[in-house]
Every structure is written in structure tokens, then in C-alpha cells.
Amino acid sequence: MILPTNTPAPDFALYATPDKQVKLSDFRGKKVILAFYPADWSPVCSDQLAVYNESLKLFQAANAQLLGISVDSKWSHKAFSEDRHFQFPLLADFEPKGAVAKLYGIYDEKEGLAQRALFVLDEDGIVQWSYLSPIDVNPGADGILDALDTLNNVIS
């Protein structure tokens, strides 16, 4: 069951590079977009993350930090990110495998991967929007942008 809205997002620390961990709580005071995806290098995931890379200026204009998360290793993320020129962190939910995806209710035990899921957190780390996408569908950025727009209008 996907973590519902108005729930505090569970904190975590995951590798963003082979030698640096990132904590979700490091981003308090900013909106955070968590983009869970099944696997580096897969066609749908590659397309999805490319859309987000192209949308970064829109996310940043809304004071939001994008974090991509999958169960792949920090080394796979490093190679994938460098190859695709991603300008946002990819976090390795690698060991214990899928621990963070499990906290967010989107780990697929049978396949051993994170489902394709999106979360938008407010500045206090509360889930304000979530979406579980079919595994073979690129959800795009429209839902994220709508959620950020709604959050910004509530604040205004």
C-alpha cells in the first residue's frame, strides 16, 4: 500500500555517489520530489528520468529538489547518470535491498524492485501527493508540476 498523503515521509540515508550519502532530512525547508523507478538502463526508466532532467528548471523554480531512487547499486547509478547526463541525484536503495521502497509501500517483493512511484513532499517532509504508475508507463512530469503548483498556491 503506497504511503498516503498527509503522512510524514520516512527519513532515510542512501548513497548518491560511491562515497557520499544523502539524507532526506537534509532537504527540510525545500519541497522534495521522490521518483522511485524500477531499474537503471531500462527503456521506460531512461525516458522517464530524461523527462525529469529536462524539467529540472521548472522543479527548481518551485523550490523543489528531485531525487531518483531505485534498488540498483551506487556504481550502476554513477554509470547511468554519467551516460545520460542527469543533473539530479540517483539514490541507491541497494542494501538492504529495497528498504526505503518498503517504507513507502512500493516495493515489489516478487520482482525485487521498486515500483514506479512518485511522491511530492512539502517543506516539512509531509507527503502532499503520491502516484503509483503502471510499471510499463512513463508517468511524465505533469502530475509533479500540478502538485507543486497546488502547494505553491496554498502557500501564497
- Rounded CA separation 78/80 (Å): 6
Strands across the sheet containing 13-17: 20-23, 13-17, 90-92, 64-70, 31-36, 117-121, 127-132
127-132/117-121 β-pairing:
antiparallel
Q: What share of the chain is helix, strand, coil (3-state, %, to 5)?
A: 35, 25, 40
- List the catalytic residues: 45
